[in-house]
Structure 1
């Protein structure tokens, strides 16, 4: 065992494209850090579960693990679900120590990927008549939504187009309301940027709604299994290791 294992923890989805993307990102991360044992686990709806992966690592002889939440915000899954699952496993396996890293968050590398995905649709972010809908999951935790809203403001200030967030669930504005806001501010053309890590039911909802609200608008793909996403995952892993060493 040459390193402390890194477990990439994703939410999970009924859509098989989501888990496939997480597994592909796990492969990209593993290739970027060949000395690190990198595995994927899911909170719900996809396999293997967090408990299965942690229990398996313990059975292989590992006594320390770093779990990196593949999440863009510190909402319920990061603050409650994952810690509870880890506590349940370590209560059964007291010799196993699991450090939970920070979420990926609004990292500049992820912003760059999202902007590249948007540019790939042909949208020109320097166009002052372009209205960008920044599609995101949405949360009942207002702080998580505020991160997306702040990201939209930052993009607008740095580029030239108009940007408004739109949430697929649990928060406002939704896509039609975001398009209405952009139109009221003078947007004549529209595009959708994706603040999603993988394809799935919620990104599809954003796409379906823009088809009605602003037909013909291009829709960017999710961040996906991209080397820069893997770089952020590894940065969170390294930071967690450093923090754990300081408190040891």
Structure 2
């Protein structure tokens, strides 16, 4: 019994391809695939169809959203239902999204330091935490917590912003800080990839007079660790769902131990 295939579910971007490549190099025994929710191929049905044709019967989807903590989103949910209906003989699972985990702040700080160094900024008295959207209810709560943690760490005021209009815009967040007397303001982007949404954030930040905006988090090792954590929980849940008579045999025991070690 082999471990389920891992499918990164995201919008198409080069950073996701680099992330998959890094994961596959680190865990060559684990099938790691990409499936995109936008128009970029391959789609989830194409990936699952290819797995099925090779006799693979188990797979775990990992939604690569940094703003959703529980809800995978309507497009991902609809896709998952379609794929399950098309492959009733396969055991498929949807893991929790990556979400706004605390570990992301360390990556964000590194990206922002690099951005500030590139623009030769000598002073900073305000920060904006920008996200592509406001996420689900739990994600919103966690993003607000991350903003407070970031503010406490740097001893600077942090205003929150989202690009899709579901919350304050980057321009509004910068203006809010300026009303408090802040002038040297930088934007930290809680984006995974250089998506269209991120490019919109860059345009908004610079047009509003921000010193700089950090680059996307990208294929960082800590992102890999978060993916593997989500995968391990979902894979173990799948193992627990196997009927009792299928748990017999040393090969199954070994497989479960391998999953625990992921």
The interval holding the TM-score normalised by the smaller chain is 0.7 to 0.9
Aligned to 2:129: 134
Instruction: Determine if the alignment matches structure 1 residue 221 to structure 2 residue 215.
Output: yes
Partner Cα distance (1:145, 1:107) in 2: 12
Q: Distance in 2 between matches of 1:116 and 1:177?
A: 25
Of the candidates 207, 212, 228, which is equivalent to residue 212 of structure 1? 207
Q: Is the 8 A contact 1:135 1:203 kept in 2?
A: no
Of 45-54 and 179-188, deviating more is 179-188
The answer to whether the aligner puts 1:105 opposite 2:107 as a matched pair is no
Which of 25, 47, 54 is the matching residue for 2:48?
54
Please tell me whether Structure 1 or Structure 2 has the larger radius of gyration of its CA atoms. Answer: 2
Contact kept in structure 2, 1:132 and 1:190, CA below 8 Å: yes
TM-score of the superposed pair, with normalisation by structure 2 = 0.83
- Contact 2:19/2:219 (<8 A) preserved: yes
User: Unpaired segments of 5 or more residues in structure 2?
Assistant: 243-262
Match of 2:5 in 1: 5
Matched ranges for 1:165-244 at <5 A: 165-215=160-210, 217-244=211-238
Q: 1:157 Cα deviation (Å)? A: 2.0
Determine helix, strand or coil for the equivalent of 1:223: coil
The answer to which of 200-209 and 76-85 deviates more is: 76-85
CA spacing shift, 1:82–1:76, aligned 2, 3 Å: farther
- How many residues are aligned here? 238
Structure 1 alignment gaps of length 5 or more: 13-18
Are 1:149 and 1:164, in contact at CA under 8 Å, matched by a contact in 2?
no
Q: Deviations over 1:146-180 (max 9, x none)?
A: 43233212211232122111111132210111011
Shift of 1:115: 1.5
- Name the TM-score, length of structure 1 as normaliser: 0.87
